[in-house]
Amino acid sequence: MTTVKPDAVMISLEHIVKTFPSSGEGVHAVKDVTLQIRTGEIFGIVGFSGAGKSTLVRCMNLLERPNSGRVIVDGVDLTALPMRALNRERRKMGMIFQQFNLFASRTVLDNVMFPLAHTGLSRAAMKKKAMDLLAFVELSQKADAYPSQLSGGQKQRVAIARALASDPKVLLCDEATSALDPQTTSSILSLLGRLNREMGITIVVITHQMQVVKDLCQRVALMEEGRVVEEGDVYDIFANPREMVTRSFVESASSGGQVREILRDPSVRKVVASGAKVYCFKFLDSSAGRALVSSISRAYHVDLSILQANIEMIDGRSLGQLVVTAEGMAENIAAAIDYARENGVEVEELKHA
Ligand SMILES: Nc1ncnc2c1ncn2[C@@H]1O[C@H](COP(=O)(O)OP(=O)(O)O)[C@@H](O)[C@H]1O
Ligand SMILES: [Mg+2]
């Protein structure tokens, strides 16, 4: 375990702007993004295709030079460095991709040794280090294989071992699991979690899959049209998404996303047709939801019945959700809902589309 100062900043992006030249006014891929990624955390950047995620992450190691703004990594302003010094700083950042980018004509071992070529290590020391990394990613037995002989998940493990060879402080992952099936994805995510915990490496995860964020990240930024539109702890974002785009990503990755399905159930339709309203209650950090529901039923003379209940774990904290029908006088229901909200419950009325 590496201990770090709480809230030390590893990557600071200040007013990053990146415009690609093209006919007309150009493509504004990143529009004034300011973002801080803390030392030792796993930070997700989510958005639909074309939102500017890859461009932003490529600005972090200056693979893409921003038109304006500053990139400060581990206290060093990369945007102010001459080439040689920049290359030295870049080695602090490893990167992996959706398409793995392995050298097809080299063995697995040679792929992992590649970044060590100019480190001054002896060949034996290089080999030892690469074999240790292959053991870490659980691929020792594939050292002499070629990339074409590996599955997608194995290729990504080799890419991770290669990225680790330069002892990076940061690992940038651009859609690293997007080409993998769900089971392989979860094994790669747990490997990333392990190298974060055991090596203290700060990880930036670019993805269009909110499930990846839910399973791996502590904080997340949502990008839309080149801007960060919402940012926060993953738990808070799941508990209380504010922007439309955030809501749609959150729903895609939570069992809560299926709450609207309930409205299609014939028996529920019947209750709703008779005048009942349907609400979704979200409870933070506790399963006190049921108790609150029964107490407000009594206090406000509202008949609340539970249609669906579930609790999910996000970043080690529980997020509870209840879908209820409410029957009673309109003003009593309104007062009951106000009371629930005053008690920290998120309440949303569900309506037919
Ligand atoms: N090298 C490039 N030249 C021109 N336009 C680009 C280049 N790279 C990205 N873009 C454009 O910038 C926008 C953001 O792209 P990108 O960062 O790849 O988004 P994302 O990774 O979120 O899908 C898109 O409109 C894309 O077409
Ligand atoms: Mg991309």
Q: What is the pLDDT of residue 352?
A: 66
- Decide whether any atom of ligand 1 lies within 6 Å of the 207 Cβ: no
Q: Which atom belonging to ligand 1 lies closest to the Cα atom of 57?
A: 17
**CA-proximal residue: ligand 1, atom 2 (nearest):** 20
Structural domain contains residue 228: yes
Q: Which tops the pLDDT comparison, 202 or 315?
A: 202
Looking at every residue in the chain, the average pLDDT score rounds to 91
User: Pairing relation of β-strands 219-224 and 202-207?
Assistant: unpaired
Report the chain's C-alpha Rg in angstroms: 24
Q: Which atom belonging to ligand 1 lies closest to the Cα atom of 223?
A: 22
Half-sphere exposure of 61 (CA within 13 A, CB side): 22
Are 191 and 321 contained in the same domain? no
Are 273 and 330 contained in the same domain? yes
Mean pLDDT score, 111-122: 93
Listed residue (194, 176, 193) closest to 185, CA to CA: 176
The region of weakest confidence among 87-101, 113-127, 255-269 is 255-269
Structural domain contains residue 339: yes
Are 269 and 340 contained in the same domain? yes
Q: What is the pLDDT of residue 2?
A: 55
- Decide whether any atom of ligand 1 lies within 6 Å of the 29 Cβ: yes
* Neighbour-count burial of 246, counting CB atoms closer than 10 A to its CB (0-12 exposed, 13-18 middle, 19+ buried): buried
Mean pLDDT score, 12-39: 94
Structure-derived torsion over alpha carbons of residues 83, 89, 92, 95, reported in degrees to the nearest 10: -30
Are 341 and 262 contained in the same domain? yes
Are 239 and 287 contained in the same domain? no
Structural domain contains residue 53: yes
Q: What is the pLDDT of residue 6?
A: 60
pLDDT band (50, 70, 90) for residue 4: low
Distance, in Å, from the CA atom of 313 to the CA atom of 307, rounded to the nearest integer, reads 21
Q: What is the pLDDT of residue 124?
A: 95
Of 253, 275, 307, the last residue of a domain is 253
Instruction: Report the percent of the chain where pLDDT is more than 90.
Output: 69
**CA-proximal residue: ligand 1, atom 13 (nearest):** 29
Tokens of 83: 């080439």
**CA-proximal residue: ligand 1, atom 26 (nearest):** 50
| pLDDT tens profile 249-267 | 998 887 655 667 777 888 8
Of 253, 278, 305, the last residue of a domain is 253
Structural domain contains residue 112: no
Q: Is the pLDDT of residue 186 over 60?
A: yes
Number of domains in the chain: 2
Mean pLDDT score, 313-341: 89
Instruction: Identify which ligand lies nearest to the alpha carbon of 174.
Output: 2
- DSSP class of residue 23? S
Are 312 and 343 contained in the same domain? yes
Distance, in Å, from the CA atom of 192 to the CA atom of 173, rounded to the nearest integer, reads 10
Residues in CB range of 338: below 8 A, 6 or more apart: none
Are 246 and 262 contained in the same domain? no
Half-sphere exposure of 326 (CA within 13 A, CB side): 30
Q: What is the pLDDT of residue 197?
A: 96
What CATH code is carried by the domain that includes residue 24?
3.40.50.300
Are 192 and 265 contained in the same domain? no
Listed residue (197, 226, 348, 188) closest to 277, CA to CA: 348
Q: What is the pLDDT of residue 306?
A: 86
Are 283 and 240 contained in the same domain? no
Instruction: Report the percent of the chain where pLDDT is more than 70.
Output: 95
- Decide whether any atom of ligand 1 lies within 6 Å of the 20 Cβ: yes
Alpha helices in 24-69 (DSSP H): 53-60
pLDDT band (50, 70, 90) for residue 142: very high
Tokens of 264: 């299609």
| pLDDT tens profile 153-172 | 999 999 999 999 999 999 99
Are 65 and 180 contained in the same domain? yes
Are 265 and 346 contained in the same domain? yes
Around ion ligand 2, which residues have CB less than 5 A away?
54
Half-sphere exposure of 71 (CA within 13 A, CB side): 23
Q: Are 100 and 159 in contact (CB under 8 A)?
A: yes
Are 81 and 176 contained in the same domain? yes
**CA-proximal residue: ligand 1, atom 1 (nearest):** 20
Dihedral sign for Cα atoms in the order 334, 336, 339, 345:
negative
**CA-proximal residue: ligand 1, atom 11 (nearest):** 29
Q: Which domain holds residue 345?
A: 255-350
